[in-house]
Amino acid sequence: MEARINRERLWHTLSELGLIGRSPTGGINRLSLDAQDLLARSHVHALMLEAGLSVRQDEAGNLIGRLEGDCIDAPAVITGSHIDTVTEAGKFDGALGVLAGIEVLRTVKELGVKHHCPLEVICFTDEEGVRFGIGYLGSRAMAGEWSPEWLKAKDKDGISLNEAMIQADIDPSLAERAARPAGSIRAYLELHIEQGRVLEDANLPCGLATAIYGYRWLLVKFKGHADHAGTTPMALRRDALLAAAEAVIAIEKLAIRSGGTATVGTLKLSPGAVNVIPDEVIFTIDYRHSSIQALTEMGQQMETTLESLAFRRGLTVEVSETDGATPVTCSEQLTSMLTEVCGSIGIKAMPMVCGAGHDAVAIHSLTEIGLILVRSKDGISHHREEWSSLEDCSDGADILLHSMLRVAQK
């Protein structure tokens, strides 16, 4: 009988972690390093210990559980993901990768399976980037891309990343030391829910990513003039919201034309009164594509569109790029090894491009990456209705188990 993870135990840990940060409506709110996220981090820390792993927290707050192999100096085979969430999230995004990673290492230890390379499971700090506007924060720090500038970023309550790290007992001045030397990681394999509809449409439990979309985040500010809602003729207005409304529609068209995606996810207008023309609108754009060239073109077209809308309505516009990551390709070698593993343990999986962002993108600059995806019910994610079945999650975890062992045994 092939080794398998303990399905019920994995499901139980998913259910338990899903209780931390749960709102009365059933959505999960664990914005990075907030009180609920800190609670979840200590829960995961305890789970890693219970699994018999040696646990440490690196200088960027990444929690690392490790199981030594026969050779202590060999490069590690790593899996990981995140437990911070967006607002009103589901319980699978990120959590599955961390908990399945712990389950995999626990299974290897319990069964006493021999392996040459050490195995690690990492719970990365702040993958979502919702609270401070910086995605892949912990994984980028590990990849040597930490920027001290990030510490100035503030959340919506004015708390800076610097303050949040100190509150979490992470010394911000040391964060760049989380960088790991190239060559210290043999391979990185991440398990994540698909967050889309491809696998469900194909009636398959799992997917193997060949590439992951890049993204850019923009902050846009239209500035016009506030005025009286009753006396200002329509032709004489400098209404910032009208430009923003046109921009939102134009951005949708542009994304459709380019074959990528674009989303205006936050929008704030001022002064915000029923009888006053809005003089300022600030909004964000998240746009993504699998091709770096198309991503760059989308950005150029957006800037041109925003400028011409502002000009036409007598407004000013400021556009700043606040975050981003380039598209990456997954290792062909790892992906074909994953395909073989699926065949040998009897799990059906298909190759696919992944539209969501993952810590694997950041780790790509350190080592080869592979990404295993698990079917999402109705493709829903970043929402409390996010769901993947026990069977599909466990299939994904079994692929992770066997693929980590294959790499670590060489």
**Is position 356 an interface residue for ligand GLV (rule: CB under 6 A)?**
yes
Instruction: Point out the annotated binding site for Zn(2+).
Output: 82, 93, 128, 192, 382
Q: What angle do CA 51, 57, 59 make, to 5 degrees?
A: 165
Judged by CB under 5 A, does residue 93 bind Mn ion? yes
Which residue, 58 or 128, has its beta carbon nearer to ligand GLV? 128
Contact 252, 263 (CB under 8 A): no
State which residue, 43 or 382, has the beta carbon closest to ligand GLV.
Answer: 382
Stretch near Mn ion under the rule CB under 5 A, chosen from 92-100, 118-126, 149-157, 181-189: 92-100
Handedness of CA 306, 308, 314, 320 (dihedral sign): positive
> Cβ 353 to ligand GLV, closest distance in Å?
13
Among 357, 364, 397, 398, binds ligand GLV (CB under 6 A): 357
Characterize the bridge pairing of strands 119-124 and 369-374: unpaired
* Per CB under 6 A, 83 contacts ligand GLV: no
Preceding amide of 271 cis, omega within 30: yes
Write the interaction track for ligand GLV spanning residues 128-167; mark x where CB under 6 A is met and - where it is not.
x---------------------------------------
The answer to whether residue 38 forms part of the interface with ligand GLV (CB under 6 A) is no
| Contact of 395 with 373, CB cutoff 8 Å | no
Smaller CB separation from Mn ion, 214 or 357: 357
- Say how far apart CA 107 and CA 124 lie, in whole Å: 22
Give the range of 222-230, 319-327, 354-362, 367-375 binding Mn ion by CB under 5 A.
Answer: 354-362
Smallest separation (angstroms) from Mn ion to the CB of 323: 13
Closest C-alpha to 403, from 352, 354, 367, 369: 369
Minimum separation from the CB atom of position 11 to ligand GLV (A): 22
HSE-up (13 A, CA, CB side) for residue 77 = 27
How far is it, in rounded angstroms, from Cα 375 to Cα 300?
34
Name the residue among 229, 226, 246, 234 with its Cα closest to residue 310.
246
Q: Where does this chain bind Mn ion (CB under 5 A)?
A: 93-94, 356-357
Q: Where does this chain bind ligand GLV (CB under 6 A)?
A: 128, 356-357
